[in-house]
Each structure stands twice: as C-alpha cells, then as structure tokens.
Amino acid sequence: MATVYCSLATVHFEMSRQLTQRLVFTLITLAAIATVTPIVFVVGYIAYLGWPAISWSFLGEMPRDGMRAGGIWPAIVGTLYLTLGTGLIAVPLGVAAAIYLSEYAKDNRLTRSIRIAIINLAGIPSVVYGLFGLGLFVLFLKFGTSLVAGCLTLSIMTLPVIISTAEEALRAVPQSFRVVSRSLGGTKWQTIWRVVLPQALPGILTGVILGLERAAGETAPILFTAAAFFLPRLPGSIFDATMALPYHLFVISTQVPGMPIQIQYGTALVLLVFVLSMNVVATIIRSRARARRQW
C-alpha cells in the first residue's frame, strides 16, 4: 500500500515537473516571438508605406518647397560622405589599436586601462559625443559645423566597435600560424601583415561594417557638429555643413508642418535600406568566412 502511495506521489511530482516545464517553455517561446515580431513589423511597415514615394526623382533631386517636394539627394550624399569619412579615420586607427591589443600588449595595468577606456567609449551616450565634438572640433579647433567635424566625432564613437570586433578576429587566428611564420624567418610585423591580418580580414570587415552602420544611422552626434537643417546643394569641401538622412528624417517628421506623410516614409525607407544593406553584407561576409575557415 505504502509503495503505491509513494509511486503515485512520484508520478504526480513527475507530471507537475513536466507540466511546469511545458508551461515555462511556452511562455519563453512566446516572449521570444514577442521580441522579434515588432522588428519584422517595423521593417515591413516602413517598406510598405515608403515604397510608393521611391522614384528616381525622389532619390536624385534637390528638395523643393521647403522640403515638402522634390527629392532627398543631398541627404543621401551627405550620409555617404559622413560614413566614408568616418571609415577613413576610424578603420586604420581601430585596426591598429586592435593589432596592438592582440599582438603586442602585455597583460598589465596599462592594457587593462586601455580595455576599460574602450568599454567606456562604447557606453558613452551618442548625444555626449555630440557635445564633445561641438566643444573640441567645432569650437576649439574652429572647424565649424562641417563634414570633417562630424566624421571625427562619429569616428571616435565607432572606434570601440571596430577595436573589439577586430581584436576578436585577430585573436581567433591560431597561434601556430604565427609560430610557423616566425620560424621561417618572418619578423613580427611581417607575420602580422602577411599572415595574421589576411586570415582575420573577414572578421575585421564584419566589425568595420557594423561600426559604420551605426555611424550612418546616428543623429545625435552630428546634430551640433555637421548637420544642416536645409541645404539644397552638395557640400563643396570638408569644411561645409551637410544634410544627412537620419537628421533629415528627424527634421521633416518633427520640425516642418504640413509635411506630406509619403515623403517621410520614403525617407525612412531609404535610411533603413542604407543601414540594413550594410547589416546584410556584414552577415554574408561573416557566414562565408565561417564556411571556408581553414583552421
């Protein structure tokens, strides 16, 4: 009799354990779905409402009628310039810093301070970067509100992303590659330049693109350093202010009364395509590199 009770209790206990698990797993699955569904919705909704606005003249013309008509060409070009300029500054600097951390730095207090500095750079709010850019580049160095001030500000903001992903990619190259190269008489730098860097390139590239993607989509850092409210021409030099897609979207959706809704969604779509295509390229590079990795 006692055994029966006992096993009944076990069965009951077992069932409640299984029941709990099923219940919790369902909840977790639902939560995960609830987390990603809005992402699909955001992209789909903007694509759906923005698509009718897209035309060659929308993409390639200057804005007219106080931006209520015409195209967004200067904003597209401005964002391209800002992204490329940021890359020109941040990529060499970031990759060099990553090489230092992965190949040269010893595990000491200085290296730890560098890592803490990088973590902090990554956490500083984008609008604080804007303030910093205003204080240093625009006012102190007297660059004015300009492409170059914006690129420099965005570069420093992008740096931590590039450094940490590039360092990870460099560290993933097996030690044996370095040992072999050195034993064949290669110097330390030759080993890095001819062996380690090429192997780490896809990983570095992924990080670079993800960093620049962030720079391309940011508004707050260029708000007081580079962005022009309305400038119906392309910047002529690096000391000119520029229009940019994210800031333009902000302006036309909050500052301009009577703005046709279609132009707003069209601009949002162009910005989204710009940024997400970088994301897709990065993902492709990464998965390809993973597929044909030799080690």
Partner 1 sequence: MQQPAPARKLPELLIESLIRAAGYSAILFVALILFFLLREGAPAFAEVQLSQLFSIRWYPIESLFGLLPLIGGSLIVTLGATLIAVPFGLATAIFIAEIAPRWAREILKPLVEVLGGLPSVVLGFLGMLVLAPIVRVTLNTPTGLTAFTGSLLLAGMALPTLVSVAEDALDAVPKSYRDAALALGATKWQTIWRVTVPAARSGVLTAIMLGVGRAIGETMTVMMVTGNAARLPTALNSLFLPVRTMTATIAAEMGEVANGSVHYHVLFTIGIVLFLISFAVNLTASAVVFRQRKRAERLLS
Is 275 one of the binding residues for partner 1 (CB under 8 A)?
A: yes
Q: Report CA-CA distances (Å) from 179 to 185, 186, 243, 265.
A: 10, 10, 50, 55
Minimum distance from residue 6 beta carbon to partner 1 (Å): 16
Q: What does the alpha-carbon distance between residue 145 and residue 234 come to, in Å, rounded to a whole number?
A: 15
Is 38 one of the binding residues for partner 1 (CB under 8 A)?
A: yes
> By CB under 8 A, how many residues form the interface with partner 1?
92
75-104: contacts with partner 1 (CB under 8 A): 92-94, 96-97, 99-101, 104
Minimum distance from residue 173 beta carbon to partner 1 (Å): 16
Q: Pick from 154, 170, 243, 268: which binds partner 1 (CB under 8 A)?
A: 268
Is 128 one of the binding residues for partner 1 (CB under 8 A)?
A: yes
Of 57 and 190, nearer to partner 1 (C-beta) is 190
182-211: contacts with partner 1 (CB under 8 A): 185, 187-190, 210
* Nearest CA-CA partner of 244 in 208, 270, 282, 207: 270
Of 1 and 40, nearer to partner 1 (C-beta) is 40
Of 4 and 31, nearer to partner 1 (C-beta) is 31
Q: Report CA-CA distances (Å) from 98 to 90, 139, 197, 206, 283.
A: 12, 31, 11, 14, 21
215-234: contacts with partner 1 (CB under 8 A): 216-220, 223-224
Is 172 one of the binding residues for partner 1 (CB under 8 A)?
A: no
Q: What does the alpha-carbon distance between residue 193 and residue 170 come to, in Å, rounded to a whole number?
A: 11
Minimum distance from residue 227 beta carbon to partner 1 (Å): 9
Sequence-ordered list of residues with C-beta below 8 angstroms from that of 107, at least 6 positions apart, any chain: none
Q: What does the alpha-carbon distance between residue 173 and residue 99 come to, in Å, rounded to a whole number?
A: 12
Is 20 one of the binding residues for partner 1 (CB under 8 A)?
A: yes
Is 34 one of the binding residues for partner 1 (CB under 8 A)?
A: yes
| Alpha carbon of residue 39 to chain centroid | 16
Q: Pick from 140, 175, 258, 295: which binds partner 1 (CB under 8 A)?
A: 140
Minimum distance from residue 1 beta carbon to partner 1 (Å): 25
SS3 242: strand
CB distance 203 to 165 below 8 Å: yes
Q: What does the alpha-carbon distance between residue 56 and residue 86 come to, in Å, rounded to a whole number?
A: 27
